[in-house]
Amino acid sequence: MKVEHAKPKVGSTVTMDRGDFLSGKYAEDLRALMVERSALVFRGMHLNDEEQLQFASTIGDIFLVGDKPLQNISMDPEINPVADYVRGAFYWHIDGANDPIPAKATMLGARVLAAAGEGGDTLIANTYAAYADLADDEKAKLEGIKVHHALEASQRYITPNPTVAELERWQMRASQSHPLVWHHQHGRASLVLGNTCHYVEGMELGEGNMLLCRLQEWATQDEYVYRHKWEEGDFIIWDNTGTMHRADWYPLDSDRLMRRTTLQGDEPTY
Ligand SMILES: [Fe+2]
């Protein structure tokens, strides 16, 4: 297994024998490397659905959306019935942040690339590194702060003037309180941020929004962000619990198609 770092603090390209990749020979190493590097890239894999699921199951338990282990990531409503909802992916977020236990990892396998010049890069920000680099007095101030996460918050990016029916639909969905700083079982801590942040609990709204904005701006500085420029057959996996991610804008009628698999989270956010 060969590992090349994209940037000192985030992103690595992993090269290995295809048989070893599928068999899970290095699964334990990859799980550790994913936490250390946030995002792992495997170039030119050209995985089909079955192979993607075979690999995913070597890393963790596959999370089913409805009854499906793979989801189409496309903005075309004919291919992706929840295309409207997926447009939230143009903004920094954590998958499953409205649930008690967010997804452990997310994987994307390229099936159809955006046309040249259309955009559609995937960006992943390392929120362990961003937290680690904060000054100690700032870290102390963030302890104990909780943030309410809700679908309403992320959907307002896309639909800023919702109807009552839309708002009712959003508010029916699960929402969740998470600590701003997640102390993980492996010993590192990360920031829990993104477009699902609705408000900071117990803090005046303006002050809370400023705090979230400031931390998000900090965590998405270039040194913490890996930008993946997709090539045919690429496959990437990231540690969803210690990152935020987003897609760079691309046209809603683009042919871009990714197949996504997420892994079941196994660690509450405290
Ligand atoms: Fe996502």
Ligand 1 centroid to residue 73 C-alpha, Å: 9
Q: Are strands 176-179 and 146-149 parallel, antiparallel or unpaired?
A: antiparallel
Ligand 1 centroid to residue 245 C-alpha, Å: 6
* pLDDT over 70, % of the chain: 100
Which residues have CB under 8 Å from 12's CB, separation 6+? 3, 4, 5, 6, 33, 37, 39, 40, 41
pLDDT given at position 12: 98
pLDDT given at position 76: 85
The residue ranges of the chain whose pLDDT is under 50 are none
In a domain, 128, yes or no: yes
pLDDT given at position 126: 98
Ligand 1 centroid to residue 259 C-alpha, Å: 12
Domain count for the chain, please give it. Answer: 1
CA distances (Å), 240 to each of 94, 129, 253, in order? 6, 14, 27
In a domain, 125, yes or no: yes
pLDDT digits (tens, 9 = 90+) for 71-83: 999 988 888 877 7
Q: How far apart are CA 50 and CA 80, in angstroms?
A: 20
In a domain, 270, yes or no: no
CA distances (Å), 233 to each of 42, 105, 180, 236, in order? 9, 20, 36, 10
pLDDT given at position 86: 83
Judge if pTM exceeds 0.85: yes
Residues bordering ligand 1, an ion, CB closer than 5 Å:
89, 95
Ligand 1 centroid to residue 87 C-alpha, Å: 10
pLDDT given at position 83: 78
In a domain, 28, yes or no: yes
Quick count: other Cβ atoms within 10 Å of Cβ 84? 15
CATH of the domain at 138: 3.60.130.10
Q: Decide: 188 and 132 in contact? Cβ < 8 Å.
A: yes
User: Most distant CA pair in the chain: distance in Å?
Assistant: 55
pLDDT given at position 85: 79
State the residue range of the domain holding 55: 2-263
In a domain, 134, yes or no: yes
Ligand 1 centroid to residue 70 C-alpha, Å: 13
In a domain, 268, yes or no: no
Ligand 1 centroid to residue 7 C-alpha, Å: 22
Q: Decide: 1 and 29 in contact? Cβ < 8 Å.
A: yes
In a domain, 162, yes or no: yes
